[in-house]
Structure 1
Amino acid sequence: MGNREDLMAGAKRCLTEKGYGRTTARDIATASGVSLAAIGYHFGSKEALLDAALIEATEEWAAALGTVVARAAEASEDPEERFVAVWDGVRETIAEHRGLWASQFEAMVHVERVPELRDALAAIQKDGRLGLSALFQGLPEVPDTEEELSRGIFYQALLVGLAGQWLAAPELAPSGRDFLRGLELVGGSVLKPKAVPAGGPEWHGPTG
């Protein structure tokens, strides 16, 4: 690898082992085997390098999660069982990438004081939501529509909530079955039945 790639690898390792706030430029240089000056040359600052490393590490985690979703889809044809299996798998990936998730929460704390980080996270927010919508549906991609963004927002809220609860108390973090039961209870108390036209359901033909 070149110096830039070595720095990215070293920064990702530091994020996992030391966290976002405690990682110094010297830590990254030592982990990557590259000089301190190379950080400024390739990335401009330690913060810019850590931000880029955090985003890349998250993308790598998403790829691992895609495998979990695909495996769950193959395990059962029942939507409820797939939902449970997917979220149990998500919890496993959070446990396996604990350092990454801890660093993400640390980064959020720094957002207000680091405009560059806020801008970096805002820039990927929309793409991240569309990516989650596609991921949890087992699709390669989804169109940029209000419906898909809303679906992504819902999945994002579940994901971040699960990660936060797991980091705080792993033994109390919800399971896929807990999520399913909560969805049933909330949906039943909040959602209204769809109105049926006075003449009965509209006929759309054999494929409608």
Structure 2
Amino acid sequence: MGNREDLLAGARRCLEEKGWARTTVRDIAAAAGVSMAAIGYHFGSREALLNAALIQAIDEWGLETGQAVSSAYDDHTATPAERYEALWTQLSKSFGTHRKLWMASIEALLQAEHSPELRQYLAAGQREGRRGLASILLGVEEDRLPESTVRTFGSVQLALLSGLMIQGVTDPEQAPSGAEVLEGLRALLDHIGPAEAGADGVDRAGVVAGQEADPGGGKGAAGSPAAEPQG
């Protein structure tokens, strides 16, 4: 590897071992096996280098998440509920086996407050995450998903992912399993009851991927139960 790649690898190790605040220029240079001056030459500052290393870690996080979601939905003989449970089971395992990687994503959120570039990168990643999760879970191509579905169904899945990730890395022994996530969602639906028709008369529970449900079958465009998407 060249000095730039060595610095990224060294910064990544420092982030995993020490975190952002405790990592110094000297730490990175030692981990990379290059001079401290090389940091300024290639990245301009410690902060810029750590941002680049965080983005690299987040890219891996996104790849890991996408693989887990796709893998869980590969079994087309399973019911939507079984696939949904398998998804969260796989992700829960990832929180433990790749804890440092997930912690890097939390670190990025904290540092984004002081870095407009990093904040824009994370915001773009969230937009892609909402759409990607909705696409896989609903079985609808991304370019066919209306924004309303992405901002509702997709956003809820991303919120679940973020919340469960925090629980998984801080208290893995007590973090909910895939079955408990599914049961919790069902309990929530029982608690709030079915959706009511809006002012325009459209049943909001019957809209999946931007299309109204079949009044007789209660199915959305992706073939999932209208009031209980994929679970």
TM-score using structure 2 length: 0.73
Q: Does 1:173 align with 2:175?
A: yes
The runs of 5 or more residues in structure 2 that have no matched partner are 203-213, 224-231
Q: In structure 2, what is the equivalent of residue 128 of structure 1?
A: 126
Within the candidate set 181, 188, 191, 2:190 is matched to: 188
What is the deviation of 1:111? 4.4
Q: In structure 2, what is the equivalent of residue 49 of structure 1?
A: 49
Query: Is the Cα contact below 8 Å between 1:94 and 1:101 reproduced in 2?
Result: yes
What is the deviation of 1:168? 2.2
- Which has the larger displacement, 64-73 or 169-178? 64-73
The structure where helix makes up a greater share of residues is: 1
What is the deviation of 1:57? 0.9
Query: Is the Cα contact below 8 Å between 1:8 and 1:49 reproduced in 2?
Result: yes
Q: Does 1:33 align with 2:33?
A: yes
Query: Is the Cα contact below 8 Å between 2:129 and 2:158 reproduced in 1?
Result: no
Q: Which amino acid in 1 is paired with 2:31?
A: A
Q: Which amino acid in 1 is paired with 2:215?
A: P
The runs of 5 or more residues in structure 1 that have no matched partner are none
- Which has the larger displacement, 82-91 or 141-150? 141-150
Q: In structure 2, what is the equivalent of residue 69 of structure 1?
A: 69
Any residues of structure 2 matched to 1:1-208 within 5 Å, and which?
1-75=1-75, 76-112=77-113, 114=114, 116=115, 118-135=116-133, 137-138=135-136, 142-143=142-143, 145-190=147-192, 192-193=194-195, 201=215
| Counterpart Cα distance in 2 of 1:107 and 1:124 | 8
| Counterpart Cα distance in 2 of 1:145 and 1:155 | 15
What is the deviation of 1:132? 4.4
| Counterpart Cα distance in 2 of 1:55 and 1:40 | 19
Per-residue displacement from partner, 1:109-155 (whole Å, max 9, x unpaired)? 4444x2x2x54123431332323431464379724724224333212
Distance 1:51 1:140, change over 3 A: farther
What is the deviation of 1:202? 7.9
Q: Which amino acid in 2 is paired with 1:125?
A: A
| Counterpart Cα distance in 2 of 1:193 and 1:151 | 14
- Which has the larger displacement, 118-127 or 38-47? 118-127
Distance 1:100 1:201, change over 3 A: closer
| Counterpart Cα distance in 2 of 1:191 and 1:120 | 40
Per-residue displacement from partner, 1:165-205 (whole Å, max 9, x unpaired)? 122211111111111111112123335346599xx9389xx
TM-score using structure 1 length: 0.80
SS state at 1:74 partner? coil
Distance 1:18 1:182, change over 3 A: same
